[in-house]
């Protein structure tokens, strides 16, 4: 059975999500503030591009399974590694 969430609980959940949405590191770049995850995503994208180039030059790309899944997973892993490496407290 599904548990009923009352209107007060639902409102508290929405407020908690909105308040915690601004709890990520912010970087200042040329006077503008950017969330740090944007830089981590860009770093992950550049890392995967470099790894893909390396894999293609070595001739291993035909032996990789479903490329969308492999490169997508590699992108997520590189992005999270950038996040951990740069913003670990």
- Tokens (6 digits) for 3: 């548990």
**12-34 burial string, b = 16+ CB within 10 Å, else e?**
eeeeeeeeeeeeeeeeeeeeeee
Does the structure show a pLDDT above 70 at 17? no
**pLDDT over 70 percentage in the chain:** 73
Q: For the whole prediction, is pTM greater than 0.85?
A: no
pLDDT recorded at residue 39: 86
70 vs 19, more confident: 70
Give the HSE-up count for residue 65: Cα atoms under 13 Å, Cβ half-sphere.
5
Whether residue 62 is predicted with pLDDT greater than 80 in this model: the reply is: yes
Instruction: Look at the block and give the residue holding tokens 């992108």.
Output: 75
């Amino acid at each position: 059975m599904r548990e009923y969430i009352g209107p007060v609980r639902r409102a508290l959940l929405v407020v908690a999500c909105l308040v915690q949405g601004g709890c990520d590191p912010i970087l200042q770049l040329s006077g503008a503030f950017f969330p740090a995850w944007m830089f981590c995503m860009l770093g992950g994208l550049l890392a995967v591009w470099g790894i893909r180039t390396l894999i293609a030059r070595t001739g291993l790309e035909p032996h990789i399974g479903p490329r969308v899944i492999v490169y997508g997973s590699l992108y997520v892993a590189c992005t999270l590694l950038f996040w951990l490496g740069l913003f670990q407290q």
